[in-house]
Amino acid sequence: MTKLIYFRLALTNLWKNRQTYLPFLLASTLLTFTQYSFLMITFNPGLSKVHGGMQFQVILTLGIVVVSLFSAIFLFYANGFLIKRRKKEMGLYSILGMEKKHIARVLLHELSLTWLFSMALGIGLGILLGRLMFLLIRLAIRIDVPLVGSVNLPAVWITLGLFAVLFLLLILCNTWQVRSVDPVELLRGGRTGEREPKARWFLAILGVLTMGAGYWLAQRVQNPMAAIALFLVAVVLVIVGTYLMFLSGSIALLKLLKRHKRYYYSSRHFVTVSGMLYRMKQNAAGLASIAILCTMAMITIGTTVGLYNGSEKMLSEYYPSDLQVTFADEAALRDAQALNATFARQAGVSVTDAHAFTGYEAAFAIDHETVLPSSALTYASMNDYGKMHDALLMTQDTWAALEGEPLNLAPDELALWTTAAQRPTALTVGSRRFSLRYLESLPVVPCMSHGSAITKSYIVVPDAAAIRSILEAAQATADDQAPVYTLQCNVQGDRATLERYYAAIETQATDWKDHSLRIKGNLREEWYAMHGGFLFIGIFLGFIFLMGTALILYFKQISEGYQDHDRFIILQKVGMSNDEVRATVRRQILLVFYLPLAVAVCHVAGSLHMMILMLQLFGLMDVPYIALNTFAAALGVAIFYWLFYRQTAKTYYRMVKF
Amino acid sequence: MALLEVQSLQKIYTTRFGAQKVQALTNVTFTVEAGEFVAIMGESGSGKTTLLNILAALYRPTTGQVLLEGRSFADVKESEKAAFRRDHLGFVFQDFNLLDTFSVRDNILLPLVLQNKPLDEMERRLTPLVTKLGLQGLEAKFPYEISGGQKQRTAVARALITEPRLLLADEPTGALDSKASAKLMRMFEDVHRSGQTLLMVTHSAQAASYASRVLFIKDGEVYNQIYSGNAGRDAFYQRIIATLTALSDGGVAGD
């Protein structure tokens, strides 16, 4: 009987506070839905057996971890906000004779109900949309996921368990909140006198420094390996900097403006500056979170969309030709050339751009215009990674035969095509010194036996002796001292003929010794699985970040609305006209609205250099393309933000209206 | 010419669907001369607050008009109302209505800032006012740091800094203890002596006894008025009490 009372009390409370609890419930439902969907797809029994399925599972696991972390942070934030708002109500309960443990029990029932609702809705939605999700994966990501039923018991249990733990922690947190405050104070709630915020200069300066350090780091890195290693450091620095800047920097700035009397005591700035001071005190953390979440949404969506759309471009960076085979001896190459022509004829495909050439592959470092073995670098500085080269060496005769254009190199001259950023004018190799001529275009892109994230270079030498000097200076292994014989070609045909052709090659390849066979089509499947997987969770996570932004924005507006209502009534009584009040409200709102968005765009712009380097690791080299994608994503997020803001602003104006 | 002329004011409130009409003011006529300190008394529901809101140009009367220095409120355009109030009238409220985001100094300066007055003019007006109202040393404090009496004196300073033609006070002692009330009323007396015209609505006979004239309102009409004369404040207080007693004993106009 008494249990039923708590239950009913909890239910009416949720209903009465629906203005704030409904968004909370929606958010928790959406998080549940995402978590269940990720789990359900990961546990799809056939997924690991299809091509690219493994990669997709790994990426999904990453997504599950991110969603779990985000759920924890988010639920705690929202719950804290809701409890703070309801302190007065709790105080009233205790005045009416409820003990603290009773209040805690009501809160427990409320959270249990919320958990139950969001589990039922979230998992229900996940089951309902499961089929659609599988279809989406098949179509967009091109993974042949088996279309199995979307009720997956392990996924259900894990989702239930995970959120049960989170809600249990929330319940503990609420119980502690109720117990640690006395009833009179509860009744007063947040109404205790607001102190004017103090400018904490030390923290403000620290904020500028950490933010500056993050940006500096992001601009200074010069190669992908360094970017990967320093990315997390830069992100943490910028996040800490953003919070400090919002918390202390904004207040310090406003205090400075206030001290400037001629600025402060004017009708345009007087109310705005002092209003902003209090607004920043209450909302700095929320605004900083919005800025960070917007940044994350922009970067996540921007990079994953860019990666997915750029897959084809990247494939040709790695594999310039549809088919490439390398051999250790020339006879094998000649055999393969003949066989290839035969297979193509039998299968009915046409072969174009077929080339065969001899080269040497070596990895070394170029430091201070000198070729060194890669082991000579300490890698203490991250930029040492940028000095490493993966090179294909060719004599100028081979080059002329392959590219169809003689270079006519001088005896002490090298020609170089490279992706490296640094371009020395001369190069010392052992005891010899060469001048360098840079090649800007490659009519035929020669294939190398391994594509990598390290700088790719083609070096054309005047004679065979120069190749030996370079290999010696690089301290190449015995394997690398030997020449590599490469056959590469493009193949056209319909799906069936191509399959027949590649099957013949692959069967034949089992008989080849010391060879390496690379078929672009196979890599394409793996890549689409991986990049499609990134895209899939990127868009999901992007939406979750946006949802977080939306909820914080909504809560912020509501909590400010009531206070501002009183404040603006006074201003009107003192002689401010309706229009003036409205203009002031609008000015403050716009400031608060644009600030996080501007900061987010700034962060995205600042991170761009680092993103470009990191995407190079995946083989995406097209800088304008990456920039375009990122800013398209930023624009999309900004539009969403604006739309949502307009909606919440309506609620806000309704509250402030007099 | 009188500073303020109130001519046969009538105010009828209509409920949202027009089903019921409530008459708050029936017929109110009086004048206030420049330099007078007038108190308006009456029970709850007698129409005091409605009258004050009409005098503050916040409400429009149903019939009748209000003239300030011969200019009718009805002639002031809606868009100029706020500026008109700000430039000609000063307000003191029961619950102070100070902004908690401003210091005492900034609260007082608020109307001048809205008028876009130059900085040195603000300073010039502020200093004597702060001294006059006993707020020295509190300028940098915030509303939550000072007492109720100090808050109300800050509000009075804010009302006076625009040098208004008329100061309107709505139950200024309503939220104060007797000591703070007495102190505030003595300051009103000072302000009055220096030539300021005041009009105050109050419940308190004690507060009203500081005025030079008291108007009594009952059921939306001016019921009676008495002048302080030269007999001293205590004698005036006794007469106010007597009138109030007569007011509540007198026949009810009917339900």
Q: How far apart are CA A137 and CA A134, in angstroms?
A: 5
Give the pLDDT band (50/70/90) at residue B107: very high
Tokens matching residue A516: 């390496």
- Say if CB A592 and CB A560 are below 8 A apart: no
Domain contains A500: no
Inform me whether the C-beta atom of residue A610 falls under 8 Å from chain B C-beta atoms: no
Tell me the average pLDDT across B71-75.
86
Question: B161 CA to chain A: closest CA distance, Å?
Answer: 12
Of A150, A177, A192, which residue sits at a domain end?
A192
- Say if CB A68 and CB A162 are below 8 A apart: yes
Q: How far apart are CA B68 and CA B88, in angstroms?
A: 9
Which residues have a Cβ under 8 Å from the Cβ of A655 and sit 6 or more positions away? Answer: A558, A561, A562, A564, A565
Best mutation target among A574, A576, A581, A582 (most B Cβ atoms within 10 Å) is A574
Q: Which of A301-310, A648-657, B2-11, B231-240 has the lowest mean pLDDT?
A: A648-657
Give the pLDDT band (50/70/90) at residue B254: very low
Query: Per-residue pLDDT tens for A481-519?
Result: 888 999 999 999 888 898 889 888 888 888 888 888 888
Domain contains A514: no
Are residues A211 and A185 located together in one domain of the fold? no
Are residues A378 and A439 located together in one domain of the fold? yes
- Across the interface, whether the CB atoms of B122 and A573 are under 8 A apart is answered no
Of A192, A217, A242, which residue sits at a domain end?
A192
Count the alpha carbons within 13 Å of A217 in the hemisphere toward its beta carbon.
22
Are residues A164 and A62 located together in one domain of the fold? yes
Which residues have a Cβ under 8 Å from the Cβ of A94 and sit 6 or more positions away? Answer: A100, A103, A183, A186, A187
- Across the interface, whether the CB atoms of A574 and B81 are under 8 A apart is answered no
- Across the interface, whether the CB atoms of A267 and B99 are under 8 A apart is answered no
Are residues A527 and A484 located together in one domain of the fold? no
Inform me whether the C-beta atom of residue A282 falls under 8 Å from chain B C-beta atoms: no
CA angle A28-A34-A39, nearest 5°? 125
CA angle A214-A219-A221, nearest 5°? 100
From the CB of residue A153, how many other CB atoms can be counted at a distance below 10 Å? 8
- Across the interface, whether the CB atoms of B91 and A574 are under 8 A apart is answered yes
Domain contains A71: yes
Q: Which residues of chain A have pLDDT under 50?
A: 189-192
- Across the interface, whether the CB atoms of A576 and B114 are under 8 A apart is answered yes
Strand ranges (E), A496-618: 516-519
Are residues A289 and A168 located together in one domain of the fold? no
Q: How far apart are CA A432 and CA A214, in angstroms?
A: 42
Residue (of A150, A163, A125) closest to A43 by Cα position: A150
Residue of B nearest to A265 (CA): B113
Q: What is the predicted pLDDT for the residue at A112?
A: 92
Q: How far apart are CA A16 and CA A313, in angstroms?
A: 55
Of A142, A169, A192, which residue sits at a domain end?
A192
Tokens matching residue A98: 């409820």
Q: What is the predicted pLDDT for the residue at A381?
A: 66
Are residues A402 and A308 located together in one domain of the fold? no
Domain contains A340: no
- According to DSSP, the β-strands at A370-372 and B63-68 are unpaired
Domain contains A327: no
**pLDDT value at B226 more than 60:** yes
From the CB of residue A101, how many other CB atoms can be counted at a distance below 10 Å? 10
Are residues A318 and A231 located together in one domain of the fold? yes
Are residues A134 and A246 located together in one domain of the fold? no
Are residues A100 and A121 located together in one domain of the fold? yes
Residue (of A96, A83, A68, A94) closest to A24 by Cα position: A83
The domain in which residue A372 lies consists of: 350-492
- Say if CB A574 and CB B91 are below 8 A apart: yes
Inform me whether the C-beta atom of residue B73 falls under 8 Å from chain A C-beta atoms: no
Kindly state the helix (H) or strand (E) to which residue A414 belongs, with its residue range: strand A413-418
Domain contains A375: yes
Question: A266 CA to chain B: closest CA distance, Å?
Answer: 6
Q: How far apart are CA A334 and CA A40, in angstroms?
A: 51
Are residues A487 and A368 located together in one domain of the fold? yes
- Across the interface, whether the CB atoms of B142 and A570 are under 8 A apart is answered no
Residues of B in contact with A573 (CB under 8 A): 91, 93, 97
Question: B169 CA to chain A: closest CA distance, Å?
Answer: 13
Domain contains A358: yes
Best mutation target among B94, B101, B122, B168 (most A Cβ atoms within 10 Å) is B101
Q: How far is CA B93 from CA A159, A252, B66, in A?
A: 58, 34, 21
Are residues A22 and A107 located together in one domain of the fold? yes
- Interface predicted TM-score (ipTM) over 0.85: no
Domain contains A503: no
The number of domains in chain A is: 3
Are residues A57 and A144 located together in one domain of the fold? yes
Angle of the B178-193 helix axis to the B148-160 helix axis, nearest 10: 20
